[in-house]
Amino acid sequence: MRQVRQIMGMPITIDIPKAESSRIFEAVFEVLKQIDTQFSTYRKNSEVCKYARGEIKTPSKSLAKVISECQEAEAYTDGYFSVWYNNKFDPSGYVKGWAIAEAGKLIEKSGYKTYCISAGGDILARSDSDKVWKIGIQDPQDPKQILNMLSISNGAVATSGNYERGNHIYNPKTKKPATDFLSVTVTGPDIIKADILATAVLAAGTQNLDFMKIQKDYQALTIIHRSQGSNR
């Protein structure tokens, strides 16, 4: 069974082959809505917005955890993943992957070990059967085309890019839009980390990827527009 909802401003698709009723989907979408209420930067009264305005002295346990994970992510990406930009706090880049992971935990707790979740183009695939999930990589310049296909039994795929309207990633060090890569796709065991690395690689550009090269379990595919020329 597969269901889609628009939550957190993006389409979230959940596929659980063995599900026989909507119940598990409703439960998962409910969790995602709660995460949105707490973490949305578009809801003025979300905990994240209050925290960003300095109205909260002690963040909730979950927000505190997100903050600390973001600090760690900033460290292992050499600063290219940062939720503090222009003195603004926006953990959306972390929350997306985290929300997917939370959704996955609930699905597994409910007894389903074969499932796939896509949220805004980031994907978590799990299988303890012979099901192999086929994940296409979107062509940065044609949303109806895919460039290649991955076959994943257990793993995460996260793609970041500057090609969707309104989605601009900046190099936090130069403060300029990151334009080296048209898109970056990272695969690996954990969706949160894959998401962080995809964002960081895009932001860092071609010259600053030492932090990615040492990530043994994660792989990155980067796509550059030819007209940008050789940049080695």
Partner 1 sequence: MKKGVVVILAVAIIGTLGIYGKKQSSTAQVHKTTPRLTAKPATISSSSPTRSDSRYKDGTYTGALAGTVYGPVQISVVISGGKITDVNFLRMPDDLGYTQEVTAFSEPLLEDETLQKQSAQIDFVSGATQTSEGYAQSLQAALDQAA
Amino acid at 146: I
Whether the CB-CB separation of 89 and 52 falls below 8 Å is answered with yes
Q: How many CB atoms neighbour CB 92 within 10 A? A: 14
Query: Which range binds partner 1 by CB under 8 A, 27-35, 42-50, 141-149, 170-178?
Result: 141-149
Whether the CB-CB separation of 124 and 28 falls below 8 Å is answered with no
Query: Which range binds partner 1 by CB under 8 A, 39-47, 68-76, 146-154, 170-178?
Result: 146-154
Would you say 68 or 145 has its CB closer to partner 1? 145
Among positive and negative, which fits the CA dihedral 99, 70, 124, 12? positive
151 lies in the site for partner 1, by CB under 8 A:
yes
Whether the CB-CB separation of 221 and 204 falls below 8 Å is answered with no
Q: What values do phi and psi take at 229, rounded to 5?
A: 75, 180
Would you say 67 or 156 has its CB closer to partner 1? 156
Would you say 60 or 145 has its CB closer to partner 1? 145
66 lies in the site for partner 1, by CB under 8 A:
no
In the block, tokens 């109205």 appear at 55
146 lies in the site for partner 1, by CB under 8 A:
yes
Please list every residue from 13 through 42 that binds partner 1, using CB under 8 A: 13, 15
The contact mask relative to partner 1 for 169-198 (x = CB under 8 A, - = no) is: -------------xx-x-xxx---------
Rounded CA-CA distance 123/101 in Å is 10
Give how far the C-alpha of residue 66 lies from the chain's centroid of Cα atoms, to the nearest Å: 14
CA distances from 91 to 74, 81, 94 (A): 12, 10, 5
Query: Which range binds partner 1 by CB under 8 A, 21-29, 52-60, 103-111, 123-131?
Result: 123-131
106 lies in the site for partner 1, by CB under 8 A:
no
145 lies in the site for partner 1, by CB under 8 A:
yes
How many residues form the binding site for partner 1 (CB under 8 A)? 77
165 lies in the site for partner 1, by CB under 8 A:
yes
121 lies in the site for partner 1, by CB under 8 A:
yes
Would you say 59 or 179 has its CB closer to partner 1? 179
Q: How far apart are the first and last CA of the chain?
A: 47
